[in-house]
Amino acid sequence: HLIGFTERNGNWHAEDLSLADLAKEFGTPLYVYSKRALTEAYQAYDRACVDASGKRRARIHFAMKANSNLAIIDCFKQLGAGFDLVSGGELSRALAIGADPSSLVFAGVGKSADEIAQALKAGVKCINVESIAELHKINQVATRLQCRAPISLRVNPDVDAQTHPYISTGLKDNKFGIAYHEVLKTYREAALLSQIDIVGIDCHIGSQITTTAPYLDAVDKVLDLVAQLKKEGIEIHHLDLGGGLGISYGEESPPDITEFTNTLLNRVAERGFGHLDIVLEPGRSLVGNAGVLLTHVEYLKPGAEKNFCIVDAAMTELMRPALYEAYHAIVPVQSKPVKSVTYDVVGPVCESGDWLGRGRSLAVEEGDLLAILSAGAYGFVMASNYNTRPKPAEIMVDGKNVYLIRQRETVADLFANESTLPKQTHSPL
């Protein structure tokens, strides 16, 4: 499942470059991405998006929350992708790389009036609306700006995506989307608002989903709504099926991207909705396996109950294990003839939840380099500065070439925007 990263004669490489050399040049912790890996993942989607006669039946909008580095999103733009955005900040990133505003969809449960105005002024393709209150706010902002607002309603289809509860979004007790039984009523209300243009319908059922069945349930439920809306004279032009396809972090065997996409698109066509423009919003499945996090072993600390391998990366660089107990494979970058020992791989942050892998058998010594695999999605973007830790550098490998795509932060950067209180000239009463 790893395209850009391979082990050759005991040495891990990113495409044609050795990870050990990259760590030497750029330091650690370090995010390393493979351009080939993300290109091939995109092309796997794209193969299914164009039918045998060459007609495009779906568009890929990369969910940039998974990895919004400008170089990454620029690669996707050049491959033909649009983007799924969830904040004014992400919209600014898309505009900064010159993305066509008509290739942007704007989602999120809590868009502010300023963000709505920013999206309308930019001319995004669609705002995905998650509540009746938001619908009214969009209408107000559009009235003030004297423009029209293209919208979709995000339907909560109430299907169980069978994934981690923190990343499941399509169940009725989740905060996301409009409850299934309220969708028709909300469309009728939207149709009456002066500045609102109904253009689509949207759903997203969760993330790291490893079977196709819940998607087909969601497609069927959403198409039932499209059929009913048509009867009422409300025409839907595009169908956004969200993202969420899982990747293999180790044991999982998610469906093949092209097959998965074909299955969804065929279902839409079989049900007689082939004329709709279809939007897919994958994030993780485009970048997850296109990145690794490199880290040095600082100390090996044997213990009575457990042995710890203390590394220079932490929950601040990769939060997924701490937050979701997520599994990421961890491999020594250069294999060595030393004895394997079972370790918990942990970072230097002052939290017991600061771990990256538990119970891992590793043949390592102090100073060795480890690669934490499948870290391209929800890795750097979820990094924090807790414990005043500068965020790591990010680099992209393309064949024999390497590019620094984000400089390592400095400690000075971290408090550059802070100030102490003015010094008191006399003591307070």
* Residues in contact with ligand LLP by the rule CB under 6 A: 63, 65-66, 84, 107, 167, 204, 207-208, 242-245, 281-285, 320, 324, 377-378
How many degrees, rounded to 5, is the angle at CA 104 between CA 137 and CA 44? 140
320 marked as part of a ligand binding site = yes
Mode of pairing for the β-strands spanning 30-34 and 104-106: unpaired
Shortest CB 261 distance to ligand LLP, Å:
12
282 marked as part of a ligand binding site = yes
Nearest CA to 62 out of 84, 91, 35 is that of 84
394 marked as part of a ligand binding site = no
**Cβ closer to ligand LLP: 285 or 316?**
285
C-beta separation of 43 from 10 below 8 A: no
243 marked as part of a ligand binding site = no
**Cβ closer to ligand LLP: 68 or 208?**
208
> How far from 241 is each of 223, 272, 282, 293, 300, CA to CA, in Å?
11, 16, 10, 30, 47
Shortest CB 206 distance to ligand LLP, Å:
7
Shortest CB 324 distance to ligand LLP, Å:
6
**Cβ closer to ligand LLP: 288 or 347?**
288
- Residue 249 sits at φ, ψ, to 5 deg, of -95, -15
Shortest CB 398 distance to ligand LLP, Å:
23
33 marked as part of a ligand binding site = no
**Cβ closer to ligand LLP: 66 or 219?**
66
**Chain residue at closest Cβ approach to ligand LLP:** 283
Shortest CB 110 distance to ligand LLP, Å:
13
Distance, C-alpha 262 to centroid of its chain: 22
**Catalytic residue check, 49:** no
DSSP 289: G
Q: Residue 93: which region, alpha, beta or left (left: phi > 0; alpha: psi -120 to 50)?
A: alpha
> How far from 320 is each of 26, 281, 315, 325, CA to CA, in Å?
24, 21, 8, 7
**Sheet holding 11-14: strands in order across?**
5-8, 11-14, 17-18
**Cβ closer to ligand LLP: 36 or 154?**
154
Which own/partner contact pairs does 382-388 have at CB distance under 8 Å and 24+ positions apart? Answer: 382/318, 382/319, 382/320, 382/323, 383/316, 383/317, 383/318, 383/319, 384/316, 384/319, 385/316, 385/409, 385/414, 386/315, 386/316, 386/349, 387/314, 387/316, 387/348, 387/349, 387/350, 388/414, 388/415
150 marked as part of a ligand binding site = no
> Could you give the CA distance from residue 385 to residue 411 in angstroms, rounded to a whole number?
10
154 marked as part of a ligand binding site = no
**Cβ closer to ligand LLP: 107 or 117?**
107
Shortest CB 109 distance to ligand LLP, Å:
9
> How far from 175 is each of 154, 187, 209, 257, CA to CA, in Å?
12, 19, 19, 28
- Catalytic residue numbers read 350
Residue ranges of the binding site for pyridoxal 5'-phosphate: 244, 281-284, 378
Question: Known binding site: residues?
Answer: 244, 281-284, 320, 324, 351, 378
Q: Binding site for substrate: residue ranges?
A: 284, 320, 324, 351, 378
